[in-house]
């Protein structure tokens, strides 16, 4: 597994058109908080139970048209859930798995707010809300 900060991940996506960016956050986060432009949504876990989706890797494989060789970048809120999702993809046989460090919103600051110290949005990378 590789790890790229948001700027490096964005550059990688620009240079590697076959790569897939997977947003593994919940549907609510993806829709209302926002998401990177072009990100495909495949939730790692979902409310209310917060059970990990046992078909997560299969859903990502469908996005990749069945290929486990396509580069897959995974982003979440802060880079933690995506780490576990990347591990699951590797266990499923994916060969080019990249965790996006800092995630979409970045780490908490001293006031327990996100978006002030890092993350995709903090770095001014393309994003949108539904």
Q: What percent of the chain has pLDDT over 70?
A: 100
Residue holding tokens 């919940």?
26
Please give the tally of structural domains in the chain: 1
Answer whether residue 53 shows pLDDT above 90: yes
Write the CA distances from 33 to 30, 77, 89, integer angstroms. 6, 10, 25
CATH, residue 112: 3.40.250.10
Q: 69: pLDDT confidence band, cut at 50, 70 and 90?
A: very high
Using an 8 Å Cβ cutoff, are 42 and 62 in contact?
Answer: no
Q: 59: pLDDT confidence band, cut at 50, 70 and 90?
A: very high
Answer whether residue 130 shows pLDDT above 90: no
3-state SS class at 5: coil
Helix ranges, the chain (H): 6-15, 27-28, 56-63, 81-91
Distance CA 115, CA 52 (A): 26
pTM equals: 0.96
Domain that includes residue 14, residue range: 2-128
Strand order of the β-sheet with 72-75 is: 2-4, 97-100, 72-75, 20-23, 40-41
Tens-digit pLDDT profile for residues 70-118:
999 999 999 999 999 999 999 999 999 999 999 999 999 999 999 999 9
């Amino acid at each position: 597994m590789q790890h790229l900060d948001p700027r490096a991940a964005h550059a990688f996506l620009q240079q590697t058109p076959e790569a897939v960016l997977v947003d593994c956050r919940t549907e609510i986060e993806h829709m209302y908080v926002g998401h990177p432009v072009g990100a495909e949504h495949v939730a790692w876990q979902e409310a209310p139970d917060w059970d990990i989706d046992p078909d997560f890797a299969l859903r990502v494989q469908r996005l990749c048209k069945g290929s486990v060789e396509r580069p897959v970048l995974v982003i979440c809120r802060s880079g933690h859930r995506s780490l576990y999702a990347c591990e699951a993809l590797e266990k499923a046989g994916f060969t080019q798995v990249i965790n996006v460090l800092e995630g979409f919103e970045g780490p908490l600051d001293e006031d327990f707010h996100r978006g002030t110290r890092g993350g995709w949005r903090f770095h001014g990378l393309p994003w949108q809300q539904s």
